[in-house]
């Protein structure tokens, strides 16, 4: 009996060693680079794992893609309660790596009570006692900014939770240049998450003014929509080939790759690619072999943007 048990244990050990060897063989020699997050002292991978990637996936698939992302050098994960069941999927999948990762979450709550409720629920679903960055989600209208910073507003939750150790940094995401500038003037946020995209920048003049002020404030600058292009045509808005993208992404793979490289060529910390798994994997490939656009590549990209309808405009408050 003892001999059989010994042989069984030896077989298990051999299998474990073999599996470990295979795992080590997959570890890239060029892990995704990291950049400093503003004045925080944190170093984040230049590509984030957007939580929508695991939305509506089964737990096994979610665990696999998270493990692959970590293995390739991603340490920045971004999630929000509005991403369907993504928090439920990401929490268990990220748990084995949580201590080595930077987890950013968001709240749509604009007042103290509803934002606190969302925070506590997010912590429960994400299987963690804190998030590294907590952000006001899509802080777009000036009236929303007034609410969160006013008496009884969600900023009271943020500051209290920071003292409690449940969050470490405070930031916001935004789709309005005007509100972004006002928010940076009115509060000393640690980070800003906003669309920085080749079509928006050139066709709508959206982005340069945000980037400039965020740099002046020494904030962590996080970018959305680097692989986006335009709005879906009216006949495809409800039924289009990219169910995890509300906008039409740049052409796969060449235009999307160049669009992401264009975004990464600006003084940002990291970019969050679309939630579609194909685009996310492409983004990881781009990041592992990242090189700034050459002049002829940028010219070709921006020529392709001429006359394209941007997904946002200056003066948007939607």
- Give the domain CATH number at 65: 3.20.20.100
Give the C-alpha separation, 77 to 98, whole Å. 10
pLDDT of residue 238: 87
Give the C-alpha separation, 254 to 97, whole Å. 32
Tell me the Cα Rg of the chain. 21
pTM recorded for the entire structure:
0.90
Asked if residue 196 is part of any domain, the answer here is: yes
- Residues of the domain holding 160: 33-305
Pairing of strands 220-224, 228-230: unpaired
pLDDT of residue 13: 38
Cα–Cα distance list, 118 to 77, 79, 94 (Å): 18, 12, 19
Low-confidence ranges of the chain (pLDDT < 70): 1-28, 316-318
Give the C-alpha separation, 207 to 175, whole Å. 10
Asked if residue 17 is part of any domain, the answer here is: no
Asked if residue 56 is part of any domain, the answer here is: yes
Name the domain count of the chain: 1
Give the C-alpha separation, 193 to 223, whole Å. 5
pLDDT of residue 79: 98
pLDDT tens digits along 69-120: 999 999 999 999 999 999 999 999 999 999 999 999 999 999 999 999 999 9
pLDDT of residue 57: 97
Asked if residue 23 is part of any domain, the answer here is: no
How many distinct helices (H) and strands (E) make up the chain?
Answer: 12, 12
Which two three-digit tokens encode residue 308? 């394209």
> Quick check: 80 and 52 in contact, CB under 8 A?
no
- In this structure, the dihedral spanned by the alpha carbons of residues 300, 220, 187 and 99, taken in order and rounded to 10 degrees, is 140
Cα–Cα distance list, 267 to 31, 70, 136, 185 (Å): 20, 24, 22, 20
| Backbone φ and ψ of 135, nearest 5° | -125, 145
> Quick check: 133 and 104 in contact, CB under 8 A?
yes
pLDDT of residue 27: 54
Count of CB atoms situated within 10 Å of the CB of 88 = 17
Asked if residue 180 is part of any domain, the answer here is: yes
pLDDT of residue 18: 38
Which two three-digit tokens encode residue 99? 């201590």
């Amino acid at each position: 009996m003892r001999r059989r048990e010994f042989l069984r244990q030896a077989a298990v050990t051999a299998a474990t060693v073999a599996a470990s060897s295979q795992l080590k063989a997959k570890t890239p020699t060029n892990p995704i680079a990291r950049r400093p997050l503003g004045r925080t002292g944190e170093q984040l991978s230049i590509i984030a794992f957007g939580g929508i990637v695991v939305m509506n996936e089964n737990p096994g698939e979610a665990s696999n893609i998270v493990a692959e992302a970590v293995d390739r050098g991603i340490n920045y994960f971004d999630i929000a309660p509005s991403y369907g069941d993504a928090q439920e999927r990401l929490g268990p999948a990220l748990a084995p790596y949580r201590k080595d990762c930077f987890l950013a979450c968001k709240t749509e709550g604009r007042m103290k009570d509803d934002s606190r409720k969302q925070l506590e629920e997010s912590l429960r679903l994400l299987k963690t006692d804190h998030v590294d960055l907590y952000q006001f989600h899509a802080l777009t209208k000036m009236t929303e900014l007034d609410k969160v910073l006013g008496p009884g507003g969600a900023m009271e939750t943020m500051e209290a939770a920071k003292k409690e150790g449940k969050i470490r940094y405070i930031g916001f995401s935004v789709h309005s240049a005007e509100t972004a500038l006002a928010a940076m003037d009115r509060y000393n946020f640690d980070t800003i998450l906003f669309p920085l995209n080749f079509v928006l920048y050139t066709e709508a003049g959206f982005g340069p003014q945000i980037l400039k002020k965020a740099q002046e404030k020494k904030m962590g600058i996080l970018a959305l929509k680097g692989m986006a292009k335009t709005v879906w045509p009216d006949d495809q808005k409800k039924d289009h080939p990219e169910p995890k993208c509300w906008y039409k992404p740049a052409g796969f793979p060449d235009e999307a790759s160049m669009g992401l490289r264009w975004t990464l060529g600006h003084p940002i910390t990291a970019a969050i690619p679309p939630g579609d798994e194909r685009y996310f994997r492409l983004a990881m490939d781009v990041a592992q072999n990242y090189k700034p656009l050459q002049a002829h590549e940028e010219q070709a990209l921006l020529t392709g943007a001429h006359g394209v309808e941007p997904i946002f405009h200056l003066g948007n408050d939607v």
